[in-house]
């Protein structure tokens, strides 16, 4: 059984917030944005994805006791 600590709960909440923002940004892109805004939205989306990946790696490290 995995015990949820404040650290892991916080990371889980952050990851969930990042997913919601990813979904929101993806919908904006899919609904069409001016070309000059497209690149910024895509780069921001990549940053959110990267941040979520880091949350997962940190959560794994916490659970391993690092």
pLDDT of residue 3: 61
Residue 33 sits at φ, ψ, to 5 deg, of -130, 155
Write down the domain spans for the chain: 6-63
Neighbours of 28 (CB within 10 A): 15
How do residues 40-50 score in pLDDT, each as one tens digit?
989 999 999 99
The C-alpha torsion from 27 through 24 and 46 to 33, rounded to 10°, is: 40
Residue listed under structure tokens 């805004």: 37
DSSP letter string over 37-55? Answer: HHHHHHHHHHHHHHHHHHH
66 residues of the chain, pLDDT tens digit each: 456 676 778 888 999 999 999 999 999 889 988 888 898 989 999 999 999 999 989 888 887 877
pLDDT (0 to 100) of residue 1: 47
Here the tokens at position 46 are 């990549």
């Amino acid at each position: 059984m995995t015990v949820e600590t404040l650290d892991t709960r916080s990371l889980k909440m952050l990851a969930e917030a990042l997913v919601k923002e990813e979904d929101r940004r993806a919908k904006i892109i899919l609904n069409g944005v001016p070309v000059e805004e497209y690149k910024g939205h895509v780069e921001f989306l990549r940053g959110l994805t990267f941040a979520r990946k880091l949350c997962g790696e940190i959560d794994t490290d916490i659970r391993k006791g690092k």
